[in-house]
Chain A
Amino acid sequence: MPHKIMLIEDDLPILDMMEILLRRIGYEPILVPDVSDAFNRLKAEQPSLILLDIMMTPMNGWEFLEKLRGEFGMQDIPVILFTASPSVEEKVAELNDKKLGLLQKPVSINELKDGIEKFLGK
């Protein structure tokens, strides 16, 4: 069974491309174009890792992360921030979350693969 990877991302061209890319590198993508659905889908799908965009409405990536780790108590699920926003490194470092990674868009297929394998292993 391939690992399920949930991609929370409101940009549809990226979503379409990532679906193919994730499959290509051997994962099962779960696409969430609306962050409001994310928690329901989380319960239903039980993914191994979340790829999380930051600039989204009605809830941005940071707020989602806070809710995920706090309210939902999901401290163990690895989250990779998948963003085109600059200067997020500092904030990531501040959070000191061992299960939190960062991939700056645009990421190449190898960067994506390495990024995911860091948490899920080869």
Chain B
Amino acid sequence: MADKVIRLMKHTISQTDIVRLCVITSLAICCTLITALSFSLSIDFISYQLFFIPIIYAAYFYPKRGLLVALMCGVAYQAVGYYYRYPDYGALIEVTSEAILFIIIACLIAYFIEKIRFGETRYRSVFVHSQLGIALFNCRDFTIWQTNEVFPAMLNYPTEEINGMTFSSLCLTTADKEKFLERISKTKTTDNFEIQLATKSGNGFWVNLSWNPIDESTISCTAVNINDRKIAEKLNNENMMRYLQLTENSPTGILIIQGGIIQFTNPSFLIFSGYSKDELRGKILDEFVDSRDRAEYHEYAKHWSKNKYLHEDLEIRFVTKSGGMRFGALTATSIVHLEKPATLINIIDISEKQRLSDKIREDNERRRGVIITVAHELRTPLQPILGYLNLLISDPQGFGIVDETKKILERCLVSVERERQIINQMLELSVLESGKLQLSYSTFSLEPVVKSIVDTGGYHSKAEVTIDIPESVQITADKDRIYSVIDSLLSNAVNYSKPPRIIKIFYRSETNDPQHHISMQDNGIGIEKSVFLSIFEPFQLADAAKLSRRYDRIGLSLSIAKKVVQMHSGDISVESTVNTGSTFTIHIPKEIKNAS
């Protein structure tokens, strides 16, 4: 029960203090009276030691004021002694020294009491004011008998409620409890024991416990709040798990490289390379790059070491464990791995894509080879036919040939010529499609070239040709090839119309138009809209036979023309109305942009 406190002037005095003061005062007065009585009656066995009772009592409870009590007792004893023993000087000296002894004793007691009190205060201060939770519990049944305020506050318990509970019952789960019991049964002194305790509402609360015995039956346990850290760690782990799941399940090969050395690989890369995780860790990626691509890889690696993000990927060959080859498209990103700069490399397996594109290239090569052989085989038998026809026609009289037969032979000759042309076009198209052809660009005036085509081809005699091209128009292109394109379009215009043929050649382009537009308009049979695109396709028409019959268009000249213009980054378009005529337009860019 707490003392009632009384305020007296500047001091605060409790009731206990008043009682003690009364006791000390009464004792001091009694001692003085008894001493006076023994002096007056000369009773030797009652001596000054009586005064030690109030002095020790006072000094114990009030060390500083105890000195005052000792002083007052000393004065009182001396006064009584002087009164009865004067003038016995020996006795006076004895009394004085005994009085001094009172003060010395009081001083000694005050000193030790103060010292003890100071230590106790310090201990209490640590106990009460500590930021750590402190609990004292019994080392046998773990009953908590005292805690500071922090410990129950951590777990949301009122202080009175937690006293009397067992420490082990505070563990969150049975597993935690077993862990705690196992640990404490093994060692009475423990540091940094991480465990989850239960709050009053039953939630988990992470603490770091340290305990040690302070006497035979008591263990002092401090609990550090590590709940926030643990929650952060858990979140971090969850993030890490999410990140791991991403990399583990990614179809892209993922590597982390630090200072050129492989630190991390995901399963996709293991499948890609055929190596195991351990075989790759600590190795240099260079070792797995095919020697033919190593220089290129080093050049690429230089950039990522400069901490740049590389937008472009690098396609290189990797040597797998089995000695096979796989193609990978590699991208690199600078990251921080284990607090140090590193490079994150993604590798997409493009082996299949590469295999297909290689196959397409091979197929094209093979097809070209077939076309070349076929061309040779088709041309060879034409030679005797052409030769004999030439021979017969060159000397009809010598061979006894009449005019009518000669005409028939001449028609044969035209067919041979057509076949020869088709074979040549087939070859030309295969060269164009192989992409091996280089255009030789020059800048030239369009109008004189068109005039020359019309004159050389004798188109004036076959049709009424009008040319509407400004003299100033200059185009940059492969002159010979554009010449052939215009020639074959004009040839078509003549072939697919009946007299009176009218062919208009005209040029259109605005100043800010990036393209030249050269059109050839005829008044021929026209083309159905549904086959606009097919007429440019070589051999691949589902209705080739139908088309060729209707338009007599088995020749490959349109396919070749379109391909040539496309190589100039241009195009050919067609507009047509059946039985009215067609207009073919060549579109060629005014500026060359790395056209091949």
- On chain A, which size bracket covers the interface? 20 to 34
Q: Give Cα A7 to B346, complex, Å.
A: 65
CB pair A106–B416 under 8 Å, yes or no, is yes
CB pair B380–A84 under 8 Å, yes or no, is yes
A-B interface pairs (CB < 8 A), number? 63
CB-CB < 8 A to A84: which residues of B?
Answer: 375-380, 383
Known: A11-B380, A17-B387, A24-B394. A86 touches B375 (CB 8 A): yes
Interface residue? A85 (CB, 8 A): yes
Q: Which residue of A lies closest to B376 (CB)?
A: A84
A108's contact among B386, B395, B431, by CB below 8 Å, is which?
B386
Interface 0/1 of B353-382, CB less than 8 Å to A: 000000000000000000010011111111
CB-CB < 8 A to B383: which residues of A?
Answer: 11, 14, 17, 84, 105-107
Q: Give Cα A87 to B381, complex, Å.
A: 19
CB pair A85–B376 under 8 Å, yes or no, is yes
Interface residue? A20 (CB, 8 A): yes
Interface residue? A117 (CB, 8 A): no
Nearest-Cβ distance from residue A105 to partner chain B, whole angstroms: 5
Interface residue? A32 (CB, 8 A): no
Nearest-Cβ distance from residue A87 to partner chain B, whole angstroms: 7
CB pair A17–B384 under 8 Å, yes or no, is yes
Interface residue? B388 (CB, 8 A): yes
Q: Give Cα A106 to B423, complex, Å.
A: 11
CB pair A13–B381 under 8 Å, yes or no, is yes
CB-CB < 8 A to A104: which residues of B?
Answer: 379
Interface 0/1 of A49-83, CB less than 8 Å to B: 00000010000000000000000000000000000
CB-CB < 8 A to B427: which residues of A?
Answer: 86-87
CB pair A18–B387 under 8 Å, yes or no, is yes
Q: Which residue of B lies closest to A109 (CB)?
A: B390
CB pair B372–A87 under 8 Å, yes or no, is yes
Interface 0/1 of B379-406, CB less than 8 Å to A: 1111111111011001100000000000
Q: Give Cα A17 to B382, complex, Å.
A: 11
CB-CB < 8 A to A106: which residues of B?
Answer: 379, 382-383, 385-387, 416, 420
CB pair A21–B390 under 8 Å, yes or no, is yes
Known: A24-B391, A86-B427, A109-B391. A55 touches B376 (CB 8 A): yes
Interface residue? A16 (CB, 8 A): yes
CB-CB < 8 A to A105: which residues of B?
Answer: 379-380, 382-383
Q: Which residue of A lies closest to B423 (CB)?
A: A86
CB-CB < 8 A to B394: which residues of A?
Answer: 24, 109
Number of interface residues of B (CB under 8 A): 23
CB pair A87–B431 under 8 Å, yes or no, is yes
Q: Give Cα A16 to B381, complex, Å.
A: 12
CB pair B376–A86 under 8 Å, yes or no, is yes
Q: Give Cα A13 to B382, complex, Å.
A: 10
Nearest-Cβ distance from residue A109 to partner chain B, whole angstroms: 4
Q: Give Cα A113 to B384, complex, Å.
A: 16
CB pair A109–B387 under 8 Å, yes or no, is yes
Q: Give Cα A104 to B378, complex, Å.
A: 12
CB-CB < 8 A to B376: which residues of A?
Answer: 55, 84-86
Known: A20-B391, A106-B420, A109-B394. A14 touches B386 (CB 8 A): no
CB pair A13–B384 under 8 Å, yes or no, is yes
Interface 0/1 of A1-33, CB less than 8 Å to B: 000000000010110111011001000000000
Q: Give Cα A110 to B378, complex, Å.
A: 21
CB pair B386–A24 under 8 Å, yes or no, is no
Q: Give Cα A85 to B387, complex, Å.
A: 18
CB-CB < 8 A to A24: which residues of B?
Answer: 391, 394-395
CB pair B395–A14 under 8 Å, yes or no, is no
CB-CB < 8 A to A11: which residues of B?
Answer: 380, 383
CB-CB < 8 A to B382: which residues of A?
Answer: 105-106
Interface centre among B377, B378, B380, B391 (most CB of A within 10 A): B380
Q: Which residue of B lies closest to A53 (CB)?
A: B380
Nearest-Cβ distance from residue B391 to partner chain A, whole angstroms: 6
Q: Give Cα A21 to B392, complex, Å.
A: 10
Nearest-Cβ distance from residue B456 to partner chain A, whole angstroms: 18
Q: Which residue of B lies closest to A85 (CB)?
A: B376
CB pair B395–A107 under 8 Å, yes or no, is no
Interface centre among B378, B383, B385, B416 (most CB of A within 10 A): B383
CB-CB < 8 A to B431: which residues of A?
Answer: 87
Interface 0/1 of B425-448, CB less than 8 Å to A: 001000100000000000000000
CB-CB < 8 A to A107: which residues of B?
Answer: 383, 386-387
Extra A-B contacts (11), CB below 8 Å, given A17-B387, A106-B386: A11-B380, A11-B383, A14-B387, A24-B391, A86-B375, A104-B379, A105-B382, A106-B387, A107-B386, A107-B387, A109-B391
7 pairs from A and B in contact (CB 8 Å cutoff): A14-B383, A24-B395, A84-B376, A84-B379, A84-B383, A107-B383, A110-B390
Which chain A residues have a beta carbon within 8 Å of chain B's beta carbons? Answer: 11, 13-14, 16-18, 20-21, 24, 55, 84-87, 104-110
